[in-house]
Structure formats: C-alpha cells, structure tokens
Amino acid sequence: MPSSTKLPTRALGRNGPQIPALGLGLMGLSTFYGKPGSDEERFEFLDRAYELGCTHWDSAQMYGDNEVLLGKWFTRTGKRSEIFLTTKFGNHVTPEGGREIRNDAEYIRQSVAESFEKLQTDYIDLLYCHRFTGTIPVETIVTVMKEFVDAGKVKYLGLSECGVDTLERAVKIHPIHAYQIEYSPFSMDVEKPEVGLLDCCKRLGIALVAYSPLGRGILTGQYRSVDDFDKDDFR
C-alpha cells in the first residue's frame, strides 16, 4: 500500500515528473560516517522514510553496500515502483578499496550494469555522472548514458559537480533533468554570480538538487564536539 504521507514536490527539470522536494541521501547509511548498522536496523530506517513519504532516494556505486542494501529492501517490501530511485557512476572504488574517477565508456556500461544487479531492478529513475575526469568530453559521457535511456532502462539523466560549460554542452546531446551539487550554509559557491550555476540551471530547465543541505549532518544539532564522531567517520 502506498505511503499515505505526502511531502511537497518539485518538478524534475523541464517536463520532468513531480518528485518529493526532500530527498534521502543514502551515503551515510553505508559508508563514510562511521560503522554502518545491521541490515535490520537500516531496513527500519528505510521503512520509516517510506512511511513519512520520503520516496526520493539517492544512492551511488561508491556508497559501500548501499545499492545491495536497497536491492534487498526492494525484494523484501515489493515497493520498488513507489521509490524514485537515483544512483551514480564515476567515483570508482578499486578492488583495494581506493577511489578514482572514471568516465570511459567501458567503465560506465560496467558500473551501471552492476548497479542494476545490486539494486535488483530493471530500471533506474535518474542516473547521474557523479564526477568528471576532465579528460573525457561530456559529449562522450552523455552519449553512453543515453544508451540506457534509449534501451528503456533509465528514465532521466543528471550530472553532478560540473561547471556551466559542461552543462551547456551536455544538453545538446540529451536533456539533463538534474544537476547535483553540495549546497548548505557551509557551501554557498553555487550562488555566486561569477559561478553562474543557478542562472544556468534556470535557463536550461535543469532541477538543482542540493546534497548535504544539513552540512553533512552538522546542522542537525546531534554533534557537539569531535568526540561525538565515530573514529571511522571522515567528517
């Protein structure tokens, strides 16, 4: 049964669907913010988010076991169709646990195929390029992303942490519905006129999706000193 709670919605770019304005960033559920909880604890968290009507979920290839966890939750609940699911490629985790940015076509196809398998789904609502190497043209990247749209496996495309020129070039290949960037009282560069990103998104009809709007959790009031953080918490 669909969640009875409805959050305010926003259009996902020009001619895109209405989705919850409040998204659920899932990085900290699996990695970077200390030791993850058990699957059962995290399922309870996802259950509660669903109950509250927060059904815009944001994952990524680099978020530890997050895509696998979501796949288990979808299988457990049967609610895949009720979640607006986004994931990302580009931040590649090496077998040794290191990280590198990759945008080559072979990697993109492999990463997205792995996401489908982990998420246990046959479609992704919104696929982002997470980061850019700066050496592979965005036209090449978006052309490969478009393959998944043409195949009916991805509904919408997005880009993260790139500049105005990159966005302007990308939309000439395929519509870009979302642009994701860190945006909080601690990170306000997106508002600078000389950066031009807000105006660019408005002009091109791209939804701006703010990540870490609560300053990576610092603004929640939960943390009073460095002693409040787990030793494995990168903050």
For 174-202, write each residue's pLDDT tens digit: 999 999 998 877 777 888 889 899 999 99
pLDDT of residue 217: 57
The per-residue pLDDT for range 10-39, each reduced to its tens digit, is 999 999 999 999 999 998 888 766 678 899
pLDDT for residue 106: 97
Domain with 149 in it: 9-220
Average of per-residue pLDDT across 60-86: 96
- CB contact set of 84 (below 8 Å; sequence gap of 6+): 17, 19, 20, 55, 56, 57, 125, 126
Q: How far apart are CA 61 and CA 88, in angstroms?
A: 6
Q: 56 in a domain, yes or no?
A: yes
Classify residue 27: in a domain, yes or no.
yes
Q: So what's the pLDDT on residue 124?
A: 99
Residue 33 annotated to the active site: no
Is 126 within a domain?
A: yes
Check pLDDT > 80 for residue 226. no
CATH number of the domain to which 185 belongs: 3.20.20.100
Does any domain span residue 99?
Answer: yes
Is 65 domain-assigned? yes
The catalytic position among 33, 50, 63, 156 is 63
Residue 125 lies in a domain: yes
| Domain count within the chain | 1
pTM over 0.75: yes
Reduce the DSSP state of residue 58 to 3 states and report it: strand
* Residue 155 covered by a domain: yes
Q: Report if residue 118 sits inside a domain.
A: yes
